[in-house]
């Protein structure tokens, strides 16, 4: 069980007041707040041991390198990877998708197909569009049903011998939908030789993930959405697949030998990590993983599920509020909302005056907003430091804002 009032004490930002009100932070889908453990660990590295990793033959560099490389082990355990070599550090999920799209697709043939869904984040659309144009590949999108879930029959109908990549969100940053990854991955493996990639940006912060059990090939992870700092993320991939992939970025640290006319690559994972890595951020992410592990991800998951049920009931009972949220029994605590005739930015500005932080816009899911005929929505997402009171405050503030704005 997570005791939110105790846990909040670990997050210094909650000492702040906004517009004279307690901070009701419901924008963790955009970025999570950071516990002191993460802030202090990063400060500790800069204060006591900062040196570039993998290069120095002196104490500071050795300590920093050990700490940095140890984060791979933490992440290996966190998602149950087969080996810590399968943990590739990136700047974040977006860079992860750009790396995978560029590296995977250059081996494909013209006419090969990629499957995405209609509700993907732009980070899982644009990189594929860019390479699809370059290599003449086709992108198919899985339809979303009226209850904001994936249309699995449509998905099955898209699978064929030309399908080479299936890249699907693990938890929707708009409707909270949690696709049945195991089932979808099994269908892919049964009918095609395609690889299955999961966008784990929202999934990994909230749920216990076991990549071996899921049977997937790759997952992209964002550090800052799971209590870690910005500028750090992870791509996990099966080692045998990673070994076949070529690096996308060249430079220092990713090489074995360099000649004037050619070079050979360092083994996985380093061949994908050119240049000085964001090692302090990676160490910060390690502290975030320790923090989440100490809570036990099963508890984090339960907290999210309980809060989601409470919030769903609360929000769906507000008169005049349209809630874009799946009806599935289990889903993420994420609610995109709109009010007829009221602009999402007006509502979110008004909510701010009540100390409530939500995001307004298209949340990087523009095509799906267009499909729903919505210019923008405002979105509330709950995390470990949110409780029922936060959603009570949100609901009251939404009702007050609607009154003012209509």
Q: How many CB atoms lie within 10 A of CB 347?
A: 26
Q: Is 26 in the site for other proteins (CB under 8 A)?
A: no
Least Å from the CB of residue 313 to other proteins: 27
Q: Is 352 in the site for other proteins (CB under 8 A)?
A: yes
Q: Which residue's structure tokens are 């979110």?
A: 348
Q: Is 374 in the site for other proteins (CB under 8 A)?
A: no
User: 63 or 346, CB closer to other proteins?
Assistant: 346
Q: Is 38 in the site for other proteins (CB under 8 A)?
A: no
Least Å from the CB of residue 325 to other proteins: 23
List, as one string, the DSSP characters of 299-316.
Answer: HHHHHHHHHHHHHHHHHH
Q: How many CB atoms lie within 10 A of CB 389?
A: 12
Q: Is 405 in the site for other proteins (CB under 8 A)?
A: yes
Q: Is 393 in the site for other proteins (CB under 8 A)?
A: no
Query: Which of residues 360, 393, 394, 402 is near other proteins by CB under 8 A?
Result: 360
Contact in structure between 198 and 216 (CB atoms under 8 Å): yes
Question: Dihedrals φ, ψ of 378, to 5°?
Answer: -110, 150
Number of residues that bind other proteins (CB under 8 A): 17
Least Å from the CB of residue 93 to other proteins: 22
Strands 377-381 and 334-339: antiparallel
Q: Is 248 in the site for other proteins (CB under 8 A)?
A: no
Question: What tokens does 59 get?
Answer: 């104490």
| Residue whose C-alpha is closest to residue 37's, from 15, 12, 6, 62 | 12
Q: Is 51 in the site for other proteins (CB under 8 A)?
A: no
Rounded to whole angstroms, the Cα distance separating 203 from 172 reads 8
Q: Is 372 in the site for other proteins (CB under 8 A)?
A: no
Scanning residues 330 to 349, which ones bind other proteins (CB under 8 A)?
Answer: 342-343, 345-346, 349
Calculate helix-pair angle for 297-316, 388-405, nearest 10 degrees: 30
Rounded to whole angstroms, the Cα distance separating 352 from 130 reads 37
Q: Return the range that interacts with other proteins (CB under 8 A); candidates 157-165, 199-207, 303-311, 350-358.
A: 350-358
User: 17 or 213, CB closer to other proteins?
Assistant: 17
Q: Is 364 a catalytic residue?
A: yes
Q: How far is CA 165 from CA 25, 55, 176, 301, in A?
A: 36, 37, 23, 29
How many CA within 13 A on the CB side of residue 202?
A: 29
Scanning residues 144 to 173, which ones bind other proteins (CB under 8 A)?
Answer: none
Q: Is 122 in the site for other proteins (CB under 8 A)?
A: no
Q: Is 394 in the site for other proteins (CB under 8 A)?
A: no
Q: Is 2 in the site for other proteins (CB under 8 A)?
A: no
By CB under 8 A, name the binding residues for other proteins: 19-20, 342-343, 345-346, 349-350, 352-354, 360-361, 375-376, 404-405
Residues designated catalytic: 364
């Amino acid at each position: 069980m997570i005791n939110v009032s105790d846990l909040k004490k670990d997050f210094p930002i909650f000492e702040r007041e906004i517009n004279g009100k307690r901070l009701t932070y419901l924008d963790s889908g955009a970025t999570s707040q950071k516990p002191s453990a993460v802030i202090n660990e990063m400060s500790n590295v800069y204060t006591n041991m900062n040196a570039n990793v993998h290069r120095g033959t002196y104490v500071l560099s050795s300590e920093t390198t050990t700490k940095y490389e140890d984060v791979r082990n933490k992440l290996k355990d966190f998602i149950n990877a087969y080996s810590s070599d399968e943990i590739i550090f990136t700047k974040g999920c977006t860079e992860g998708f750009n790396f995978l799209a560029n590296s995977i697709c250059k081996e494909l043939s013209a006419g090969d197909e990629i499957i995405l869904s209609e509700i993907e984040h732009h980070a899982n659309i644009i990189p594929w569009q860019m390479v699809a144009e370059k290599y003449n590949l086709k992108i198919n999108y899985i339809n979303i049903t009226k209850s904001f879930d994936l249309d699995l029959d449509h998905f099955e109908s898209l699978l064929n011998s030309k399908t080479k990549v299936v890249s699907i969100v693990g938890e929707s940053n708009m409707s909270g939908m949690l696709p049945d990854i195991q089932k979808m991955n099994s269908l892919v493996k049964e009918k095609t030789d395609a690889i299955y990639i999961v966008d784990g940006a929202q999934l990994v912060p909230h749920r216990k993930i076991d990549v071996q059990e899921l049977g997937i090939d790759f997952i992209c992870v964002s550090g800052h959405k799971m209590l870690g700092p910005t500028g750090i993320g992870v791509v996990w991939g099966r080692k045998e697949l990673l070994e076949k992939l070529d690096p996308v970025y060249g430079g220092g640290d990713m090489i074995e030998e360099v000649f004037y006319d050619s070079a050979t690559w360092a083994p996985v994972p380093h061949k994908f990590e050119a240049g000085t890595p964001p090692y302090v951020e990676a160490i910060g992410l390690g502290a975030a993983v320790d923090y989440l592990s100490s809570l036990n991800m099963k508890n984090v998951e339960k907290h999210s599920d309980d809060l989601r049920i409470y919030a769903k009931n609360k929000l769906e009972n507000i008169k005049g509020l349209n809630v874009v949220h799946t009806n599935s029994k289990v889903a993420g605590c994420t609610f995109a909302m709109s009010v007829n005739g009221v602009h999402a930015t007006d509502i979110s500005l008004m909510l701010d005056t009540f100390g409530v932080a939500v995001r307004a816009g298209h949340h990087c899911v523009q095509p799906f907003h267009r499909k729903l005929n919505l210019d923008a929505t405002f979105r509330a997402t709950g995390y470990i430091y949110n409780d029922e009171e936060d959603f009570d405050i949100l609901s009251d503030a939404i009702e007050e804002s609607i009154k003012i704005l209509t």
